[in-house]
Amino acid sequence: MIKYSEKIASELLERIACGETLVQIERDENMPARRTVMKWKRNPKLMVGDQTFPEAYREAKRDQADHYAELINTDALELDKRLDGTRNDNTIVQAMRLKIDALKWTASKLNPMAYGEKLQHSNDPENPVTINLIDYSKVVATIPRAVNRTLEHLPEEKDDPNSDTPQLRAETI
């Protein structure tokens, strides 16, 4: 197990920000295993510069999402260079679609504020948010009367000495 050092942490975070995954990074014998990084990620006492490791890790993951978004744009813009008019063009397009979809999904999970699905909850003039406040005190006040009326119509049950089940008795509240 590799011990924490600011130098190793900085290199790890830089590699993450540049798009490498922990699976790729842990293949390097000079880098910590994924399990070790997960422990560091939960330890707010570890520092990298003026940030805690957990803060720096979150920032590196946001940067990784930006990197993936840039890869998507680059691949999409350069697709025409890969197409040469042969019958293999469809295979190339399908492979690029798969790659782009995977990168889009990953970017949306790493940085949902920037790349996730946009949900608008307010400030939409066509669909304003309305809040209906209900005064339940009047409803609650009627409950005892409703219960009493219901109990009045229940048949009286006699206790069965052989039964373990308690019997309901109509009593006025």
Spatial CA neighbour of 14 closest among 74, 75, 70, 67: 67
What single-letter DSSP state applies at residue 52? E
Triad 70, 76, 77: Cα angle to 5°: 90
The answer to whether residue 83 sits within a structural domain is: yes
Q: Is residue 131 part of a domain?
A: no
Domain annotation covers residue 18: yes
In a domain, 162, yes or no: no
pLDDT of 123 reads: 65
Q: Is residue 53 part of a domain?
A: yes
119-160 confidence digits (pLDDT tens)? 666 666 777 777 777 777 776 777 777 777 776 766 665 666
Answer yes or no: is 34 within a domain. yes
In this structure, is residue 41 part of a structural domain? yes
Q: Which domain holds residue 95?
A: 6-115
How far, in Å, CA of 161 to CA of 39, rounded? 62
Lowest mean pLDDT among 6-10, 113-117, 136-140: 136-140
d(CA 9, CA 48): 7
Looking at the domain assignment, is residue 87 inside a domain?
yes
pLDDT value for 62: 94
Q: Write down the pLDDT at residue 141.
A: 74
Adjacent-strand bridge partners of 83 = none
Q: How many domains does the chain have?
A: 1
The Cα 75–Cα 82 span in angstroms is 10
Per the model's pLDDT, the better-predicted residue between 128 and 108 turns out to be: 108
Here the CATH number for the domain that contains residue 56 is 1.10.10.60
Q: Where are the alpha helices (DSSP H) in the chain?
A: 6-17, 22-25, 34-41, 53-82, 89-110, 112-115, 136-152
pLDDT tens digits, one per residue of 19-70: 999 999 999 999 999 999 999 999 999 999 999 999 999 999 999 999 999 9
Phi, psi of 144 (to 5 degrees): -60, -40
